[in-house]
């Protein structure tokens, strides 16, 4: 899963970076999206049925979930730091409210009414939340989402946890095609070197994209980092934000505890502190 942190600003403008090309991003990530929507709707039904069908996606990228959620009756809101992604998402989901915004400062307009959050289902899958640059930014983000949550609402976060010192480099392959454009991305992940500073906790991500249009082949390479979380560090920021863990599931929505390492959907609810 590709990404960048605040410290990688130079990459944001680079044509080589996946996020600078929302169409290519969308082609790569569209496969499986309908199933993911079904799972998210199921999580809302199971854990937040008393909360309104109002969805919020932080770091929404191309907005690939939004048309499906709207078809399931959700009012849809999202934001992303990248204005190009926001423009693309708005075209893909004209009925949604999508703004340019960052994790810890996004606009809460329309999400809180008379001091009470309206959001029944906030969600941030595939490690996007690890674009937050520090624990302080993460806690500010979680608190801001919490303020938007309906008292019975949930925030579903898809995150891979790290066991520092035990992980090996890994590789992911993503492929997709649309209207004669075939895209392949090979992403290599180099684990964090330590468990303390943001610099040590930076997982190195290297992406090589191949874009085939007819006989033309274009290759784009870029590198970025994601902030790593051990289970202890992740549970600590959840607590500091005043959220509580309602459930943990695997990608298909079945109950699952990832232990110290690996990917899970963390279903978070408002804590007892209001
Ligand atoms: C891997 S994409 C995920 C997009 C979408 N959530 C999905 O699942 O397809 C990560 C997104 O995070 C956005 N992003 C990175 N840092 C951010 C920040 N600090 N605040 C908001 N969005 C950010 C990027 O612009 C990018 O669109």
Could you tell me the distance, in angstroms and rounded to a whole number, from the CA of residue 215 to the centre of ligand 1? 31
- Residue nearest atom 17 in ligand 1 by C-alpha distance: 81
Q: Is residue 6 part of a domain?
A: no
pLDDT values of the chain reduced to their tens digit, one per residue, 274 residues: 333 322 333 344 466 788 899 999 999 999 999 999 999 999 999 999 999 999 999 999 999 999 999 999 999 999 999 999 999 999 999 999 999 999 999 999 999 999 999 999 999 999 999 999 999 999 999 999 999 999 999 999 999 999 999 999 999 999 999 999 999 999 999 999 999 999 999 999 999 999 999 999 999 999 999 999 999 999 999 999 999 999 999 999 999 999 999 999 999 999 764 4
Residue 209 domain boundaries: 170-226
Residue 12 in any domain: the answer is no
Q: Does the beta carbon of 85 sit less than 6 angstroms from any atom of ligand 1?
A: yes
How remote is the CA of residue 173 from the centroid of ligand 1, in Å? 19
Distance from the alpha carbon of residue 261 to the mean position of ligand 1, in angstroms: 22
* End-of-domain residue from the set 226, 242, 259: 226
For residues 82 and 147, membership in a common domain is answered with yes
Residues 98 and 190 placed together within one structural domain of the fold: no
Strands (E), the chain: 54-58, 75-80, 97-100, 112-113, 116-117, 119-124, 149-161, 170-178, 181-190, 202-213, 216-227, 243-249, 262-270
Same domain, yes or no, for 252 and 152? yes
Instruction: Report yes or no on 8 lying in a domain.
Output: no
- Residue 22 is assigned to a structural domain of this protein: no
Whether the Cβ atoms of residue 154 and residue 269 lie closer than 8 Å to each other: yes
Contact present, 150 and 117 (Cβ < 8 Å): yes
Q: Which atom of ligand 1 is nearest to the CA of 137?
A: 19
Q: What pLDDT is stored for residue 272 in this prediction?
A: 61
Query: Distance between CA atoms of 21 and 29, rounded to whole angstroms?
Result: 13
- Examine residue 13 and state whether it is found in any structural domain, yes or no: no
Give the distance (Å) from ligand 1 centre to CA of residue 205. Answer: 15
Give pTM, 2 decimals.
Answer: 0.94
User: Are 108 and 208 part of one and the same domain?
Assistant: no
Question: Is 29 near ligand 1, meaning CB less than 6 Å away?
Answer: yes
Residues 157 and 218 in one domain: no
Q: Do 86 and 221 have their domain in common?
A: no
Asked if residue 158 belongs to a domain, the reply is yes
Residues 75 and 133 in one domain: yes
- Ligand 1 center from residue 3 Cα (angstroms): 7
Residues 182 and 155 in one domain: no
In a domain, 16, yes or no: no
Ligand 1 midpoint to CA 166 (Å) = 27
Among 191, 211, 226, identify where a domain stops: 226
Judge if 221 and 233 occupy the same domain. Answer: no
Count of the separate structural domains present in the chain = 2
Inter-residue contact 170 to 189 (CB < 8 Å):
yes
Instruction: Answer yes or no: is 7 within a domain.
Output: no
Tell me if 205 CB under 6 Å of ligand 1.
no
Are 85 and 197 in a shared domain? Answer: no
> Atom 25 of ligand 1 has which residue's CA nearest to it?
82
The region, left, alpha or beta by phi > 0 then psi within -120 to 50, assigned to residue 257 is: beta
Q: Is the CB of 133 under 6 A from ligand 1?
A: no
């Amino acid at each position: 899963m590709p990404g960048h942190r605040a410290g990688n600003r130079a990459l944001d403008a680079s044509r080589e970076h996946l996020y600078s090309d929302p169409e290519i991003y969308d082609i790569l990530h569209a496969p499986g999206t309908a199933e993911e929507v079904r799972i998210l709707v199921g999580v809302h039904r199971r854990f937040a049925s008393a909360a309104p069908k109002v969805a919020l996606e932080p770091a929404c990228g191309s907005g690939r979930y939004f048309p499906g959620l709207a078809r399931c009756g959700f009012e849809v809101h999202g934001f992303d730091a990248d204005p190009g992604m926001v423009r693309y998402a708005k075209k893909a989901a004209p009925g949604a409210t999508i703004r340019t915004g960052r994790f810890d400062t996004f606009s809460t307009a329309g999400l809180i009414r008379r001091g009470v959050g309206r959001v029944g289902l906030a969600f941030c899958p595939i490690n996007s939340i690890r674009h937050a640059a520090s624990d302080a930014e993460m806690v500010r983000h979680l608190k801001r989402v919490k303020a938007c949550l309906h008292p019975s609402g949930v925030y579903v976060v898809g995150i891979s946890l790290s066991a520092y010192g035990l992980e090996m480099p890994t590789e992911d392959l993503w492929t997709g095609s649309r209207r004669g454009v075939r895209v392949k991305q090979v992403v290599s992940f180099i684990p964090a070197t330590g468990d303390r500073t943001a610099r040590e906790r930076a997982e190195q991500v290297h992406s090589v994209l191949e874009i085939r249009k007819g006989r033309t082949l274009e290759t784009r390479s870029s590198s970025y980092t994601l902030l790593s979380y051990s289970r202890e560090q992740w549970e600590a920021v959840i607590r500091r934000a005043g959220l509580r863990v309602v459930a943990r599931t695997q990608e298909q929505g079945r109950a699952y505890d990832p232990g110290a390492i690996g990917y899970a959907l963390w279903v978070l609810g408002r804590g007892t502190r209001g």
